[in-house]
Amino acid sequence: MFTNYGSNSRFTELFRRDERNPILRAADWPYPVNSVFNPGAVRLDDGQTLLLARVEDRTGISHLTAARSHDGVTDWQIDSQPTLVPDPKNYPEEEWASSFRSWENAYALNADALKMPVLLKNPSV
């Protein structure tokens, strides 16, 4: 059942961004990474918040790492190594980043499954 969040509702916003956002940064990680983003969050039975964050390593490949906090904002305990890592040997579709090559003002992705190149416009052009 959804609640009415309109002007007559006692709730004015569904989500509110914490003023300390972002609450996790690449500098917080216990190993070298480029970026941290797109976490999935869940409240555990013991009251902790568990985030499963997508993390980009220094080679540009993403993996997932778990981070836990008692209040969901501070004092994050981050796994000392990736929690879930890609396995391109068994799942070659995970190796998409290495298929990109610069080509004039576009990027061309060799889509083996389609047997044809897929062009993605370079957003910086």
What confidence tens digit (pLDDT) does each residue in 36-89 have?
A: 987 899 999 999 999 999 999 998 888 999 999 999 989 999 999 999 988 878
Question: pLDDT > 90: what percent of the chain?
Answer: 41
Number of H helices, E strands in the chain: 0, 7
pLDDT at 106 over 80: no
Any bridge partners for residue 49, and if so which? 43, 69
115 falls within a domain: yes
pTM for this structure? Answer: 0.62
User: Do 114 and 78 lie in a common domain?
Assistant: no
Owning domain of residue 73 = 21-83
> What Cα–Cα distance (Å) separates residue 124 from each residue in 11, 34, 70, 120?
40, 20, 40, 12
pLDDT at 119 over 90: no
User: Do 54 and 39 lie in a common domain?
Assistant: yes
11 falls within a domain: no
pLDDT at 104: 39
Q: Which of 83, 99, 117 is the last residue of a domain?
A: 83
Mean pLDDT of 32-39: 90
Residue 108 CB neighbours (<10 A):
15
60 falls within a domain: yes
pLDDT at 45: 95
Rounded distance between C-alpha atoms, residue 40 and residue 71, angstroms: 16
User: HSE (CB half, 13 Å, CA atoms) of 31?
Assistant: 12
